[in-house]
Amino acid sequence: PDEAPTAASAPAVRLTGVGKTFGDTPAVQDVTLDIRRNEFFSILGPSGCGKTTLMRMITGFEVPTEGTVELGGVNANGVPPHKRDLNMLFQSYALFPHLNVGENVAFELKVRRSRPKAEISKAVTEALALVRLEGYGERSIAQLSGGQRQRVAIARALIGRPSLLLLDEPLGALDQKLRAEMQLELKKIQREVGVTFVTVTHDQEEALTMSDRIAIMDGGRVLQVDSPEAIYERPATRFVADFIGTSNFLTGTLGGDRLGVESLGNLAVPRGHGLADGTGVHLAIRPENVRLTREEGEAAAGRVALPGTLQQIVYLGNATRYHLTLTDGSDFIAESRGADRSGLAMGEPVWATWDPARSRLLDQ
């Protein structure tokens, strides 16, 4: 097709003010974001947050009630799904049991356009090599493991070399171990093939493992779009800090470099936060940044120290989690690597301490 001169540098997907309302239900509201070419992009959020609806607007199966969807720099509003340069892979990828592996992979090419036999067979060989199933073309589907079937489905989805592949909970049907393996595999395939991948998932670990960037959704809105590291280290909202990993929250009012928390006192916060005095904020502290001491004086200079009572020590294999109650009755969690070497006993009074630079202020 004739592409606009700008198309080569345009993002794979550009959403501008996109919204979708079903009757009275606003499923997606005011989403503006770019998905870059050749990136592995995930849409992550809890059930019902609007991920699937957002993806269906990219595919064209759902028409936005507001805003525009551009694909490769071209306005796609009004373009039906089969005319969009994209393909989809669902959790329930149905392979045809009466066709062998090669025929399954070739299926789409045969349906979409007639091509010379030799060309199709070459494309099938290439697609099978991509998913590390060389020589499996003649096998029957019944002879394959779950992971191998998944790979056949990926080869089938990529054989037509779409610019964009949308994956809806692609690994949802696999058991835990195979899932972890396929996460790395999918990422590797995506890099090799150079196709933009967009996946929809509610599994935070999956999104962190595979993605170049993640969009976090809640209540129909996109709250943050960032790299996995930035989302973990610099969450934009309390929801993000809570949804990705675990955070302790202390809520209060800012005054300079201090946060006034009712009945807990004035605590040091990260410097240079740029928020006005009197602003109501949450201070988020990751459990792995909290250290426990018996005495307040044992905490290194400059660390915040709050007294509490140790309630429970939970051994997690690679880490140990300490559940405390602070003096205002709220829960607080600390975590250390490996087994418990603290020498602390349940019920003992302790101090939870942290470096204020490793805490994060979130505007209420």
Q: Is 201 in the site for ligand ATP (CB under 6 A)?
A: no
**How much is the CA Rg of the chain, to the nearest whole Å?**
25
Q: Could you give the CA distance from residue 75 to residue 83 in angstroms, rounded to a whole number?
A: 13
Q: Is residue 45 part of the contact set for ligand ATP (CB under 6 A)?
A: yes
Q: How far is the CB of 168 from ligand ATP (least distance, A)?
A: 8
DSSP codes of every residue in 183-238: HHHHHHHHHHHT-EEEEEES-HHHHHHH-SEEEEEETTEEEEEE-HHHHHHS-SSH
Cα–Cα distance, 81 to 83 (Å, whole number): 5
Least separation, in Å, of the C-beta of 46 and ligand ATP? Answer: 7
Q: Is 47 in the site for ligand ATP (CB under 6 A)?
A: yes
Is residue 248 close enough to count as binding ligand ATP by CB under 6 A? Answer: no
Q: Give the three-state DSSP class for 120.
A: helix
Under rule CB under 6 A, how many of the chain's residues touch ligand ATP? 12
User: SS3 helix, strand, coil % of the chain, rounded to 5?
Assistant: 30, 35, 35
339-342: long-range contacts, CB 8 A cutoff, minimum separation 24: 339/315, 340/313, 340/315, 342/292, 342/313
Residues in contact with ligand ATP, shown as a per-residue x/- string from 154 to 193 under the rule CB under 6 A: ----------------------------------------
Minimum CB distance to ligand ATP, residue 206 (Å): 13
Identified binder of ligand ATP from the candidate list 12, 27, 269, 352, rule CB under 6 A? 27
Among residues 31, 35, 49, 281, the one that binds ligand ATP under rule CB under 6 A: 49
With CA atoms as reference, report the closest residue to 2 among 109, 103, 98, 74: 74
Using the minimum distance from each CB to ligand ATP, give the nearer residue, 43 or 158: 43
Q: Is position 52 an interface residue for ligand ATP (rule: CB under 6 A)?
A: yes
Identify the residue among 14, 51, 213, 282 touching ligand ATP (CB under 6 A).
51
- Read off the tokens for 262: 């009712």
Residues at the interface with ligand ATP (CB under 6 A): 22, 25, 27, 45, 47-53, 202
